[in-house]
Amino acid sequence: MLQMLKIITLNDMPRFYKSLFWTSIAEIAKFSTIFVVIYFVARVLGPFFEGSFFYFGGVEASFSELLLICAVGFLLMIAGYYLSIPAYRANFESTYKASAKGRIELAEHIRKLPLGFLESANPSRLSHCIMKDFASIEQANSHLVPQVFGSFVVSVVVFVGLAIYHFQMALAFFACVPLAVVILWATRRLSDYLSTRHINAVLDASNHINEYIDGITTIKAHSLSGEKFKRLERSFKNLRKESIKIEVGLMPFALAVVSCMGAGIGLMIGFGREFLLRGELSVIEYLGFILVGSKAFVPLMTFAINFIELRYFAKSGQNILALRAQKEVSGSDRQIPQGNDIAIENLCFSYGARSDNKGEDFENVQGNGENKGVIKQDFGVQDLGGQDVSGQDFDKQILARQDFALRDINLLIPHKSSLAIVGESGSGKSTLVKLIARFYEPSSGAIKIGNANEKASLKNIAELEIESLMAKFSMVFQNPYLFGGSVKSNVAFGKEDASDEEIEQALKSANALEFVNALPYGIDTKVSESGASLSGGEKQRISIARCNLKNSPIILLDEITSSLDVYNEFAMQRALNRLAKDKTVIIIAHKLKSVMNCDKIVFLKNGKIVESGTHKQLLALKGEYAKMWGAQNLG
């Protein structure tokens, strides 16, 4: 129980103490009105119950006394209302504020995670965690946790009060509660199992919806739209089946728990009758116990039903804590070296062995279109049963494999020089650039930055604070991403406080101002998310404009001209020449003609540097580079 509450409150239980206190006080105040009703009936009928606790000497209650009792009941109702106000604020306002803050913090945490994790993680899973899981936690913390605790407190207070007055009747009423608790405890594994399957089904359906939308062009081209796209249809059918399973599977146990709670009223009526016949209870006392029992049944039922729901919502808390537990990119040194030389020393890298390749894996077994997978997480948190859910066995397997994408890389890239990285597809070109930008962590070796002439000034980028390090780099990728918004806001990612004049100058240097001015509203023209309304060359030139505005000393270019037409390639080349002036430029290229004037060219093959030198030197070697050059220039 305590472990579940810690997960649901995201290990922040003290924040809920105020909420639980005021909710409990408000619930007790509301419940106490039943005692006023009993007392009112006792005063009206008291003279007829000689010898009972409510006899009051046979003195008939006056109208003013009855009016006073009614006034007390009314005041208790008012008190319950006003006590609910701080409870409401503590429950809802604080929960939603904390949830909004938690979402922002989680998004910021995701931004700081290694690229290796983000590439292996499911995008739908991440968005589901930020939105749906937090919505579930909001529901649990604002509605369920306070009500469960308040119901528990009221039940304890009622039991103590009844036990003091008549222990046997109290025992009769609560006799079946232990059985209900046993049923709740026994169903926890079934609840967790069904909850996991249902969450997997929701995620699977969400994944296939995104897949359907993203791939709609291909789907239509192959006549797979509508009912013909069976993957989407199967995921919906599976979601329906799992939704029914979790409702129907837990319903008998929920009804059994409620029945046990309600059975206490029947037992109390039966035993009370015997006490009534033996003269140990008066009629008004007997009726009072029945009224209190009927009223106390509501918090008991609330506790039981909400407890079952909390088991489901706890899965959302686990997911959030699991994502929070992912280690951010390390490094705290904010003293970035002044020099911009890059020294790569004995660098090796394996996708299997890298420390940032931890994520979650949905192991989908396709059986009759059914997602029978279980969420496997390597996040180092405890599940509801206290068992570790980390994926250590998986890590051991991939460590044993040791398939290196890069091996024994040694390079010195002086400031204001240009380096081209070429080679066949899969040789490790993009991986090397991503390591330089610290998107990944090396398996061994180091990448240092600083002044190569003063080795003491060189610092391992793994020790540097990532935000400060990123100020050194600007990157242009083959498929740049544009955010939904204006052209101006997209360019301003390079410098948030940039003026319109600075943005226009950056666009001009990127050979982009002409086509931007031709748009309906110039730099204020809205572009769709991912820049679907612009051509590939236009998006890349806007990306170059970002880099112009950022004005970092090191530029990383990833095959940005490989898929452009002649006009766009020419415009891009002019923009790159301006961008690269007086900067260190590292270029990945398939077209060797585009890098033949670089200061140095390295040829990668199977993750190793097999040749390096200038264009002329590499041609003279008549090796791998010369073969590729000849193949690209046949005829």
Residue 546 maps to a domain: no
- pLDDT per residue as tens digits for the range 372-411: 333 344 343 334 444 333 333 434 444 444 578 899 999 9
Residue 207 has pLDDT above 50, yes or no: yes
Task: Report the pLDDT value the prediction gives residue 385, as an integer from 0 to 100.
Answer: 41
Give the separation between CA 341 and CA 449, rounded to whole angstroms: 6
Top-confidence residue, 622 or 529: 622
* % the chain with pLDDT above 90: 14
Q: What are phi and psi of 319, to 5 degrees?
A: -60, -45
Give the separation between CA 604 and CA 443, rounded to whole angstroms: 18
Residue 606 maps to a domain: no
Q: What does the mean pLDDT of the chain come to? A: 81
569, 564, 612, 625: which is closest to 432 by C-alpha?
612
DSSP 3-state of 480: coil
Residue 187 maps to a domain: yes
DSSP 3-state of 375: strand
Residue 253 has pLDDT above 70, yes or no: yes
Residue 311 maps to a domain: yes
Task: Report the pLDDT value the prediction gives residue 619, as an integer from 0 to 100.
Answer: 93
Q: Containing domain of residue 145, as a range?
A: 2-324
By the 8 A CB rule, do 29 and 76 touch?
Answer: yes
Task: Report the pLDDT value the prediction gives residue 356, as an integer from 0 to 100.
Answer: 46
Give the separation between CA 127 and CA 143, rounded to whole angstroms: 23
By the 8 A CB rule, do 250 and 191 touch?
Answer: yes
Residue 370 has pLDDT above 70, yes or no: no
Give the separation between CA 442 and CA 448, rounded to whole angstroms: 12
Task: Report the pLDDT value the prediction gives residue 432, as an integer from 0 to 100.
Answer: 92
The secondary structure of residue 142, as a DSSP letter, is: I
Task: Report the pLDDT value the prediction gives residue 411, as an integer from 0 to 100.
Answer: 92
- pLDDT per residue as tens digits for the range 127-138: 888 988 999 888
Task: Report the pLDDT value the prediction gives residue 19, as an integer from 0 to 100.
Answer: 81
Give the separation between CA 482 and CA 542, rounded to whole angstroms: 9
The mean per-residue pLDDT over the stretch 408-421 comes to 92
The angle formed by the CA atoms of residues 592, 593 and 597, to the nearest 5 degrees, is 100
The mean per-residue pLDDT over the stretch 474-501 comes to 84
Give the separation between CA 515 and CA 505, rounded to whole angstroms: 14
Residue 355 has pLDDT above 50, yes or no: no
- Distance in angstroms between the alpha carbons of the first and the last residue of the chain: 76
Lowest mean pLDDT among 133-142, 238-247, 325-334, 567-576: 567-576
Residue 199 maps to a domain: yes
**CATH number reported for the structural domain that contains residue 166 in this entry:** 1.20.1560.10
* % the chain with pLDDT above 70: 86
Other Cβ atoms less than 10 A from the Cβ of 16: the count is: 22
Residue 110 maps to a domain: yes
Residue 224 has pLDDT above 80, yes or no: no
Residue 175 maps to a domain: yes
364, 357, 366, 431: which is closest to 394 by C-alpha?
357
The mean per-residue pLDDT over the stretch 409-427 comes to 91
Top-confidence residue, 388 or 276: 276
- pLDDT per residue as tens digits for the range 168-197: 998 998 888 889 889 988 888 898 899 889
Residue 611 has pLDDT above 90, yes or no: yes
- pLDDT per residue as tens digits for the range 51-109: 555 555 455 667 787 888 889 888 888 888 888 888 888 888 888 888 888 899 999 99
By the 8 A CB rule, do 35 and 296 touch?
Answer: no
- Our count of domains for the chain comes to 1
Q: pTM to 2 decimals?
A: 0.73
Residue 283 maps to a domain: yes
The mean per-residue pLDDT over the stretch 141-145 comes to 85
Task: Report the pLDDT value the prediction gives residue 47, as an integer from 0 to 100.
Answer: 59
